[in-house]
Amino acid sequence: MRHEGTALRFVTTLLVLVLADSAHAGGLYVSVFGTPDMGTASAGAHAMADDASTALLNSAGMTRLDDHQLQGSLAPGFTITKFHADADTPRGGGDGGDQGGLVPISSAQYVHKLSERWRFGMSLFSFSGAALDPDNSWAGRNQTTKVSLFTLSLMPSLAVRATDWLSLGFGVAITYGRLDLFLRAPILSEPTVKLDDMTDWAPAPFASVLLEPTPTLRFGVVYQGETDFKLSGDVKGPVGVDPGIDLNLPLPQAVRGSVYWETTPRIALLASAGWEDWSEAKNLPISFERGSSAVPTGFRDTWYLAGGIHYSLTDDWTLQTGLRYDSSALKDSDRTAALPVDRIYTLGVGGLYDWSESLRLGLSFSWSDLGSAPLNKPVVKGKYRKNDLFVFGVSLYWKKLPWSGKAAL
């Protein structure tokens, strides 16, 4: 009983230190899936609806596709994350080396034509994630020596064309989540503390609308419901026991909207905006067999804006570019070293090439400036001199499949 009470107090303190900076792309949600909208930094993503990736980005847009279609995307990326400790950082230590690394990103979407009005879609993707792996002796070691959040989602969806100008979409994302946290405990011997293999499955509803007031103008709006993870695992550390722990980690609801406007036969303007309810996670409940508490994180709601352009260079080539801004889920005073992000600027460039009547190739590049993320905590002081994410995307879009022309499942 005494040991478990000690464990509860220790791990509550640990999670206050670590989870107060679980922020990526504003919150934990990612905006890069390797899909063609990466070339515009996601501007227009929920209104473009001209390939199978709309099954993920706005399921209502599936009604615009003529037949059964398939899209696959691969987007290998890497981060460069280098910390600079202030001279008066309280517990000493190095910069942690390059704390980033490879970021494998991929997704796949399929759209099946059920009838002239109805479509069925299936998407495989990851909408949230983060990873950081600094040296064990770095200045922020008492807040993290490794953090990893991984999600993988499968989302079936349906879309119906209600009128000539209105389509509706519905889906449910079934998501697997895993969280791993390692750090050196801020006590004399600095033993390693691990919370690993914390996993859960959780559903989240999606609903969307696509408006087409004219053949050259489209508006898309998407609502994403909350994914309520209840992660379970064990604490392994210096407290004398290895107690089981349950952590509630809500990935909150969000609303996103886009516009796609073909101003001329060769030029289209794209824009997006969104809101994410991260204040829902400002207190995270945790529990042991004989006790419970809540971790204050300091999370606040986030928003983003994005703008982009498509230019049809030839009948086969379309060039893309776009910019995006994400607000920070945390004030500077609430940030820890677990993840070095604050506000984010993203630049995207890309191109779409119609290889044939049945195949389109997409190439894209995305660079994100994740901010200097200054830290001023009792165990670490400093900021990140380099904090960048680079992603290279390749997508293949099959517009015709062997079973095209057959509407029945």
- Is 30 within the bounds of a domain? yes
**Please, which pLDDT band fits residue 20 given cuts at 50, 70 and 90?**
very low
Q: Domain range spanning residue 94?
A: 2-398
Lowest mean per-residue pLDDT among 89-93, 273-277, 389-393: 89-93
Instruction: Report the share of the chain in percent with pLDDT over 70.
Output: 84
Residue partners of 317: CB distance under 8 A and separation at least 6: 351, 352, 353, 354
Average pLDDT taken over every residue of the chain: 84
- Closest C-alpha to 379, from 4, 90, 104, 93: 90
Lowest mean per-residue pLDDT among 18-32, 195-209, 221-235, 393-407: 18-32
Q: Give how many domains the chain has, as a whole number.
A: 1
- Is 28 within the bounds of a domain? yes
**Please, which pLDDT band fits residue 405 given cuts at 50, 70 and 90?**
confident
Over residues 123-136, the pLDDT tens digits come to 998 755 566 677 76
Lowest mean per-residue pLDDT among 121-125, 136-140, 247-251: 136-140
Instruction: Report the share of the chain in percent with pLDDT over 90.
Output: 46
Q: How far apart are CA 180 and CA 225, in angstroms?
A: 24
- Is 15 within the bounds of a domain? yes
- Closest C-alpha to 337, from 131, 140, 187, 192: 140
CB 48 within 8 A of CB 54: yes
- Is 332 within the bounds of a domain? yes
Q: Is the pLDDT of residue 290 over 80?
A: no
CATH number, domain with residue 264 = 2.40.160.60
- Is 405 within the bounds of a domain? no
Over residues 33-70, the pLDDT tens digits come to 889 999 999 999 999 999 999 999 999 999 999 889 99
Q: Is the pLDDT of residue 242 over 70?
A: no
- Is 409 within the bounds of a domain? no
**Please, which pLDDT band fits residue 162 given cuts at 50, 70 and 90?**
very high
Task: Please give the span between the terminal C-alpha atoms of the chain, in angstroms, as a whole number.
Answer: 58
- Is 404 within the bounds of a domain? no
- Is 72 within the bounds of a domain? yes
Residue partners of 131: CB distance under 8 A and separation at least 6: 100, 101, 103, 147, 148, 149
Q: Average the pLDDT over 319-333 and give the result.
A: 90
The residue among 229 and 203 whose pLDDT is bigger is 203
pLDDT at 25: 40
Q: Pick the most confident of 13-27, 145-159, 386-400.
A: 386-400
Threshold 0.95, pTM exceeds: no
Q: Pick the most confident of 28-42, 95-109, 119-133, 181-195.
A: 28-42
Q: How far apart are CA 80 and CA 152, in angstroms?
A: 24
